[in-house]
Each structure stands twice: as C-alpha cells, then as structure tokens.
Structure 1
Amino acid sequence: MDPNLSFEELLTGVSFASAGSGFDPLTPLISGVFPIPKQMEYFRECKKRLESVIGKQRTEEHIKKAVFFISAGTNDFVVNYFTIPIRRRSYTTLSYHHFLMQHIKQFIQDLWSEGARNIAVAGLPPMGCLPVVITINSENAFLQRECIEKFSSAARDYNLILQNELHFMQTNLSNSRAKLTYIDTYGPLAYMIQGQGKFGFDKVDCGCCGSGYIEASFLCNGNSYVCSNASKYVFFDSIHPTEMAYYTMFKASRATIDHIINH
C-alpha cells in the first residue's frame, strides 16, 4: 500500500498482508482490515504493473519462480470463532475447520490461476499459549499462566486437516509443476515455550510490550513500556513472537524453505 513502492521493490518481493485478517470473510469485518480476496486483487494489480515494465512473458516466468507465502488463520479462531458467538451458532470446531479449508483452497486456486507455482502455507501456532489467550481465558491469569488446551487442540486439528488438503491439492496439480508446501509453526513455537532456557528465553507466557498480558495493536505503541531485552522473550506483544523467536522458527523451517527455493 506504499504509494512510493518502486518497481525494483515490487520485483524482489512485497507483502499483501493486512494485520487482523483471516480466511473467514467475517474476520476482517470484525477487525476492519483488508479481506484476503482484496489482497488477491492487489496482487493482480501488481502483476499488471510488472507486465507494463518487463512484458507479459517475463512476468509469467518471474511469477513461476517466485515463492508465495501464506500465513493466516489464527485471527479466525482467536478474534472470531472463540470470542464472538456468531460462527459457533452454525459450526462445530471441526466443521469450522472445513469451512476455512474451502476458503484456503479457493485462495490457492486463485494464486495458481495467476501463475503461482511455489506456494508455502503456514499452519497455526499453539494458539492456547498466546499471552492474550491465557489472560482472557484463565480464572486467575496473573498468578497462574498456563496454555489453554482448547485453543491449542484446535490448532493441532486444523494443521492436520490443512496438511491433508495440501497433499490432496498437490496430487491434483501434479501435471502443472505446482508445489504446495506446509510450514510447521506449531512445533517450533511450542518447543520454545516448553524448553525456554534451552533457547535462551526467560519469559514465555507474557510479552515484552506493556504489561505483556493483553496489549497488542494500538495498545502497544511508542508510549508503551518495553522490556530492556526483547530477545529474552518469546512474545513481543500479547500475540506476536519477537524477532528472536521468529528467527528460531525460521531456522527450524530452513530445510523446508530451502527446498522450495532451490527446487
């Protein structure tokens, strides 16, 4: 959305993400952000811009070689399903998983139709261990901070279904040289939380910003208290990991990412 985005930046990689969005069309409405189909529209606009500079054939080749990374879904559960009762009136947790899968598959299909051939899809993290989830769903959140199993269990079930769906889609797209890859975020983040000292983390159940229990988005701003060493925390605010935690997750997924890029 940067009006000063240069062609060189567009050519080397951009993010279409909108914080607070999700696969469920209701989720971005709750947060007042761009829905994923709108992000798809912006990608098509960027594709046209590429074509205007390097031509249609070179653009198609460029897109075929590019890696498309999709990471969404947490907000569908934390902001939407488990917080607001609208979807729970119509969907069990399992049927909601499948509802989301239909939107994920459509999004992947749309990317494939636009020429994308290397698509990586991140699974859900252990949502029950997010500081904000612990705070909101614990009887005494400031004294006893333990992961909320209901949320983490939903993430594990979702990840299994997602992997099966990606495998099925990969089989159906085998003749198109498309490569759909699952990126595990649950395992690496859970390992960091469970074995905090092993990875050099002192704090795993609260964030570095503010009280660390509930602040995120505009509640975590330039005037907020920030811990002296964020690298000692798994979470920066009550939802998002720190740079160090992300780097540790990246290292855990490095072999998978290298395989996508080099094959």
Structure 2
Amino acid sequence: MEKMAFKSVYWFLLIHFLLQICRVHAKVPAIIVFGDSSVDAGNNNQISTVLKSDFPPYGRDFYGGQPTGRFSNGRIPPDFISEAFGIKPSIPAFLDPSYNIKDFATGVCFASAGTGYDNVTSDVLSVIPLWKELEYFKQYQQDLRTYLGDDEANEILGEALYLTSIGTNDFLENYYVFSERSSEYSIEEYQNFLVSIAENFITELYLLGARKISLGGLPPMGCLPLERTKHLLSGSDCIESYNDVARSFNNKLQELVGRFNEQLVGIQLVLSNPYYILSNIIQSPESFGFETAATACCGTGLFEMSYMCSKLNPFTCSDANRYVFWDAFHPSERTNAIVANHVFKTCLAQFL
C-alpha cells in the first residue's frame, strides 16, 4: 500500500512539474496588438471620434451577434491568430471597461481605428495616436506586474507576440487627401518618414522588453472598394499607383526588419505582409469561395463604412461570407480568417 501511495505521489508531482514547464516555457503566452482599424477590437468606442463601429450590422456574426467596435461583421485577424496559438478566440480592447487585467494577461489590444504612424493622421479623425498606444502599453506593463508579480509578468512580456498593423491611413486618409504632407514630402520621402517612425516604435518596444514582433505590411490599398469608387471616372479596376506605393513601402519595411534582426540581440522581428494573399483573393474571389471583391457587403458596397454602414441601410447583404469586403474599407470576417491563417502558417510559424 505504501509503495502504491508513493507511486501515486510520484506521478502527481511529475505531472505537476511537467505542466509547470509547459506553462513557463509556452512559446506565445499572450498576443499584444497595436495599430489601426484592421486590428482595433473596440478602443474607439471609448473616445470622442466619429470613427466608430459599435452598432449593428457590425458584429452581427461575432459571438452573440454583438457589435464590439471591430470594423467587421465578425472577428478580425488578431482574434484568429490568438486562437491559432491556442490562447483565446478573441483579443479584448484595453479601454473596454468590461475587461480587466486578468483578461488582458493573455492578450490585449491598444489599436485605434483611423490612426497611423504619422501623428497628423490620427488628428484627422481625433483618434488615438501611435505614441499614445505605447503609453497605454506602459500602463499595462505596470498593471500586469502588480497582478502577477515582476517575474511572471516579465516572462509573459518577453515571450508574448506583438502584432502591429498600421500605415494604410497615412496614405489614404492623409497624404492623398490633404495637402500638409503631400506639399512637404514626395511620396518616397513620405514613405521614408513613416519607416523612421516605425523604426523608433520597434526600438521602444524592444527597450520595453518585447522580443517577438510582427510588423504588419500594407494591403493592396488601391483595390479597396472605397478607392475604386473614388476613381470610377478613370475606368480603373484597382488604382495601381496606390498598389505600387504599398508594395514599395512593404519592401522598405522588409529592409528595416533585416537591419533590426542583425543589430538587436534576441529580437525576432518578422514582416507580416498581407499584400499578396489579399491581392490573390481580390483578383480571383471565386477561387476562394467568394462572389465579388469589387463591392462590399454593407450598403451599396461602394463607399459605406462606420455610420454610413448602419442597420438603417436597406442594401446590406444577407451573407457576408460571399463578399471579400464587409464595408468599403474593411475585409469580411471570412477574409480576415483566410489572411490570418496564411500569416500564421508562414511568417508567424517560427513562433510555434
């Protein structure tokens, strides 16, 4: 009997020890998100801006059919990436009062729809600038250390995956719309200006303990339904000059990634480039099970987003899964899932 009791205790301690090892050495214990509407989980709900999506039909395919402030009919890429890493199926917004540090310990979103690298971009619609997102992260670090203690908190902060997705608004809602930056910089000079901000941002993240970082590239922004609508008279399907800028900017970000990986000890920086997978979906939607990429599900699908995409609009489609885009600027949940799965299996695979 004593021998059996000893064996039981032995196996209990061994299993407990192995579970502790798995927990402590988890590859990615948390997902931490910075950026714009492509990854905003609802922070804009809590600030004074016209750029919101906390009303139907946004979120109609999210859990419980709730509009959370995500610019989609359902989940966005960080949610799918978090689920793929076995963490949780959705990432909460830092400013959402219904969540607390216990929820944020395994993932948190600081993103703000409408923001950019450039502070001038965030001023356009009075949203959270990137530097403020970083200040929220510093506050989060303090809260996490208070909640878990320094050692466990530092373990999570060092092993977490940091996702960024930002830059599209700098071009489409700032440079190409207003004269301040376009009169000051050529398009290449403006790209270099934004890359320098990205460089400073990544450096500060690194100094704050981040090691696993995914820097998001630009999508084929000339193919967004809103941009096609703006340029209907040109007879162009997609605005190829905008797509050229996106590819060029992504190449500059890739060069930045290479420099950082050579210079900063212990950093694992990757470029999550959605351009080509999204371009393939847009150019051949039927191959991915969609019906169209030229128009979006919400409203007429040509120009509606935010408050123009509301439950009062009689033209919104009944099945968003048939559409590449949910509103005129943002992909549908199904597109988000495809893009997130592609990114997870390619550039994020090294973090498994």
TM-score of Structure 1 vs Structure 2, range by shorter chain:
over 0.9
What SS is found at the alignment partner of 2:205? helix
Equivalent-residue separation in structure 1 for 2:100 and 2:217 (angstroms) = 31
Return closer, same or farther for 1:260/1:6 CA change in 2, 3 Å cut-off.
farther
In the alignment, which of 95, 112, 128 is matched to residue 189 of structure 2? 95
1:167 maps onto 2:263 in alignment = no
1:233 maps onto 2:327 in alignment = no
Structure 2 matches for 1:61-76, cutoff 5 A?
Answer: 61-76=155-170
2:270/2:348 contact within 8 Å kept: no
- What count of residue pairs does the alignment treat as equivalent? 257
Structure 2 matches for 1:130-169, cutoff 5 A?
Answer: 130-139=224-233, 144=235, 146-169=237-260
State the Cα distance separating 1:19 from its structure 2 match. 0.3
**Higher relative contact order (Cα pairs below 8 Å, separated by 6+ residues):** 2
Identity score, percent: 34
State the Cα distance separating 1:138 from its structure 2 match. 2.5
Structure-1-length-normalised TM-score: 0.94
What SS is found at the alignment partner of 1:121? strand
1:67/1:260 contact within 8 Å kept: no
Counterpart in the other structure of 1:184:
273
Question: Alpha-carbon deviations, 1:111-134, whole Å to 9, x = none?
Answer: 111111100011000010001111
Which segments of structure 1 move beyond 4 Å, counting only runs of 4 or more? none
Structure 2 matches for 1:1-263, cutoff 5 A?
Answer: 1-139=95-233, 144=235, 146-173=237-264, 175=265, 177-224=266-313, 225-256=315-346, 258-262=348-352
1:29 maps to a residue whose letter is: D
State the Cα distance separating 1:170 from its structure 2 match. 1.3
What SS is found at the alignment partner of 1:68? strand
1:145/1:205 contact within 8 Å kept: no
State the Cα distance separating 1:260 from its structure 2 match. 4.1
2:121/2:170 contact within 8 Å kept: yes
Higher helix share: 1
**Contiguous gaps of at least 5 residues in structure 2:** 1-94
1:246 maps to a residue whose letter is: N
State the Cα distance separating 1:2 from its structure 2 match. 1.3
Question: Alpha-carbon deviations, 1:205-256, whole Å to 9, x = none?
Answer: 1110011111112211232342011111110000000011111112222223
Of the structure 1 ranges 50-59 and 65-74, higher mean CA displacement relative to structure 2 is found in 50-59
1:170 maps to a residue whose letter is: N
Equivalent-residue separation in structure 1 for 2:171 and 2:329 (angstroms) = 13
**Contiguous gaps of at least 5 residues in structure 1:** none
1:245 maps to a residue whose letter is: T
Structure-2-length-normalised TM-score: 0.71
Equivalent-residue separation in structure 1 for 2:117 and 2:350 (angstroms) = 23
State the Cα distance separating 1:145 from its structure 2 match. 5.8
Equivalent-residue separation in structure 2 for 1:36 and 1:57 (angstroms) = 28
Equivalent-residue separation in structure 2 for 1:70 and 1:2 (angstroms) = 19
